[in-house]
Homo-oligomer: A and B are copies of this chain.
Amino acid sequence: MPSYKAPVDDTLFLLKDVFDFDRYGNLPRFAEAPIDVVEAVLSEAGKFAEKVLQPLNRSGDEEGCTRDSSGNVATPEGFKEAYKAYVEGGWVGLAGDPAYGGQGLPHFLAVALSEYVIAANLSFAMYPGLTNGAAAALWVHGDDALKRTYLPKMTTGEWTGTMNLTEPHCGTDLGLIKTKAVRQGDGSFAITGQKIFISAGEHDMAENIIHLVIARIEGAPAGTKGISLFLAPKFLVNADGSLGARNAVVCGSIEHKMGIHGNSTAVLNYDGAKAWLIGEENRGLNAMFVMMNAARLGVAVQGLGLSEVAYQNAAAYAKDRLQGRSLTGAKEPGKPADPIIVHPDVRRMLLEIRAFNEAARALMVWVALSADEALESPDPAAKRAADDRIGLLTPIIKGVFTDVGFANAVKAQQVLGGHGYIAQSGMEQFVRDARITMIYEGANGVQALDLVGRKLPKDGGRAVTAFFGEVSAFLAENKGDAALAPYLAPVKAALGKLQQATMWLMQNGMRNPDNAGAASHDYMHLFGLTALAFMWARIAKAVLARQAKGKSNEALDSKLALAKFFNARMLPEASAHLARLSSGAETLMALPAAAF
């Protein structure tokens, strides 16, 4: 059976040593969260993940969700109780607005601890994750009456939220949606249509479920400019806040799918369901993007979380399993065989995972701290820069963390050989669960296109120019540091390739948009590699600083070895990305569609 230990120490190292936690002291929410509070919160969250959520992961996968003939869905045994404890622990509302019952702690804290919750039990984590996303969209775009009615219980997690976009004939291309909203006399709307793939769409863990639904108001323009966002609760809410009648939205079926069995993926049938407009008419996608961007960051963390738990279990197996001998002579001559960790290729798989995880965690923490800056910084320039950084990095970390997270789950499974293929080991569940992260909240191809098509050219390339500037400034600032030099050179080389690729895109993507599309996947991954290399240089700097003060330890020292591994063994892929993308769209577009 798999196990999990939340990497609290690593998160704290990143906050304190790499990202200089104190410099965020000017943000209001940080007043409530000095580092010892942060430490206590992360540590408690880690324990909850390890002791309450992780033990339900395998059983949740095996049991799955079940729907009865009236459309009620039961979550796996133990989920309901665990969710109740999660709500009571205040975890859902950690970063929620205090005006609606939230704890008002910084957002980075919610992100950091979500890694632990996800790693312990992705299916479970999705319920509060979607609730937070729905609450955020309502908080930004809802009117006061709606917020007063729904936000308090969504903030605490007593009611959960969902995101209803996809229909049978459309997912990515939301301009095609058919679900209709008909204006009622009382200011509400009646929604009719079918939504599919609704995560956490129906379940027994909360007394109400608040669906955020996109639909087309009668007479609205065609395409994406005629889409509005609505709130449709499972149970209508009376004026006194008590629950009223069941709304006309029913779970028609739940999907039989590859993984995340503990999360119900519902088909929701709306038959004149009562709903209220969120934000402006026909501006629904705009409002939904608040939720989608939050969700994309959340999915990126899913890639990391699964990669981490998969690593931990593979490493434990590799240190324990006796099989064969080291190529350089027995390392444990007293035992019948050496542990398989002696084999270079087993180490390769483990190190590829670990060297990703630690740098990805750094990138996640940086983006999460940026989210707080973007919301609260008193300095308009810093606020804007943080917002730009998040916009630019969101598709990159969604695409890269989940592509790599899945590949890492596969590698970790490989370390166990045949045992990894057996359900009991838990490794194959990590693979099946990780697979969805590459698909939902915008398939990774859509992320790559969002990056090259929108995020790069936005505001004249301001965000990407700023990113290059930050990396270059770091390189310049540390130029004289001989100990750090070996960690800087690879970043410089990678940045050069990324800039070359960016130039290629500017020159060729405008001329022929298919060149941009053809380059998008490799560009996204080249960007990701460069950002991860930058993180390794920052981590190395922090470790060297600790060593200089005589305050390092074995765990920190090992990061220097990981940084070297990353640069020698993972960064070479940057050249391949550049070569591929520079080859242009021609070989991709040559075949007529019928020849496929």
Spell out A's residues near B (CB within 8 Å): 166, 169-173, 176, 196-197, 255-259, 315, 318-319, 322-324, 327-328, 336-337, 339, 341-351, 354, 406, 410, 413-414, 417-418, 420-424, 428, 431-432, 435-436, 438-440, 443-445, 448-449, 512-514, 516-518, 520-521, 554-555, 558, 561-562, 564-565, 568-569, 572-573, 575-576, 579-580, 583, 585, 587-591, 593-596
Q: Which chain B residues border A339 with CB–CB below 8 Å?
A: 593
Which residue of chain B has the shortest Cβ distance to A444 in the bound complex? B414
Contact for A421 among B173, B439, B564, CB less than 8 A: B439
CA distance A580 to B572 in the complex (A): 7
Give the dominant DSSP class at A's interface: helix
Q: Which chain B residues border A414 with CB–CB below 8 Å?
A: 438-439, 443-445
Q: Find out whether the CB atom of B343 lies under 8 angstroms from the CB atom of A517.
A: yes
CA distance A568 to B590 in the complex (A): 13
Contact for A439 among B170, B350, B420, B589, CB less than 8 A: B420
Q: Which chain B residues border A572 with CB–CB below 8 Å?
A: 575-576, 579-580, 583
Q: Which chain B residues border A349 with CB–CB below 8 Å?
A: 445
Shortest distance from the beta carbon of A455 to any chain B beta carbon, whole Å: 16
Contact for A417 among B336, B347, B410, B443, CB less than 8 A: B443
Q: Find out whether the CB atom of A521 lies under 8 angstroms from the CB atom of B345.
A: yes
Q: A256-B424, A596-B318 are in contact. Are A568 and B589 (CB under 8 A)?
A: no
Q: Which chain B residues border A173 with CB–CB below 8 Å?
A: 323-324, 337
Closest 7 pairs between A and B when the two form their complex, measured CB to CB: A344-B517, A327-B513, A572-B579, A258-B428, A344-B518, A568-B583, A565-B587
Which residue of chain B has the shortest Cβ distance to A518 in the bound complex? B344
Task: Supply 14 further A-B pairs (C-beta < 8 A) apart from A173-B323, A327-B514, A344-B517.
Answer: A172-B324, A255-B423, A258-B422, A259-B421, A319-B594, A327-B513, A342-B593, A344-B589, A414-B444, A421-B439, A561-B595, A572-B576, A575-B575, A576-B576
**Can you show 21 pairs from A to B with CB atoms below 8 A apart?**
A176-B323, A255-B422, A258-B428, A343-B445, A344-B514, A345-B445, A345-B517, A345-B520, A351-B587, A414-B444, A414-B445, A417-B443, A420-B439, A421-B435, A558-B591, A558-B595, A561-B591, A568-B587, A569-B580, A569-B588, A575-B575
Shortest distance from the beta carbon of A255 to any chain B beta carbon, whole Å: 5
CA distance A212 to B562 in the complex (A): 45
List the number of copies, as a whole number.
2
Contact for A564 among B324, B417, B521, B587, CB less than 8 A: B587
CA distance A583 to B171 in the complex (A): 44
Q: A421-B257, A435-B421, A439-B420 are in contact. Are A590 and B564 (CB under 8 A)?
A: yes
Q: A327-B516, A583-B568 are in contact. Are A589 and B417 (CB under 8 A)?
A: no
Which residue of chain B has the shortest Cβ distance to A573 in the bound complex? B576
Q: Find out whether the CB atom of A418 lies under 8 angstroms from the CB atom of B439.
A: yes
Q: A324-B173, A445-B346 are in contact. Are A257 and B591 (CB under 8 A)?
A: no
Q: Which chain B residues border A418 with CB–CB below 8 Å?
A: 166, 171, 196-197, 439-440
Shortest distance from the beta carbon of A462 to any chain B beta carbon, whole Å: 23
CA distance A593 to B339 in the complex (A): 9
Q: Find out whether the CB atom of A257 lies under 8 angstroms from the CB atom of B423.
A: yes
Q: Which chain B residues border A170 with CB–CB below 8 Å?
A: 323
Q: Which chain B residues border A417 with CB–CB below 8 Å?
A: 171-172, 439, 443
Which residue of chain B has the shortest Cβ distance to A255 in the bound complex? B422
Q: Which chain B residues border A562 with CB–CB below 8 Å?
A: 591
Q: Find out whether the CB atom of A421 lies under 8 angstroms from the CB atom of B171.
A: no
CA distance A516 to B326 in the complex (A): 12
Q: Find out whether the CB atom of A587 lies under 8 angstroms from the CB atom of B558.
A: no
Contact for A319 among B318, B558, B596, CB less than 8 A: B596
Shortest distance from the beta carbon of A320 to any chain B beta carbon, whole Å: 11
Shortest distance from the beta carbon of A164 to any chain B beta carbon, whole Å: 13
Shortest distance from the beta carbon of A4 to any chain B beta carbon, whole Å: 16
Most buried by B among A197, A319, A348: A348
Q: A421-B258, A575-B576 are in contact. Are A565 and B593 (CB under 8 A)?
A: no
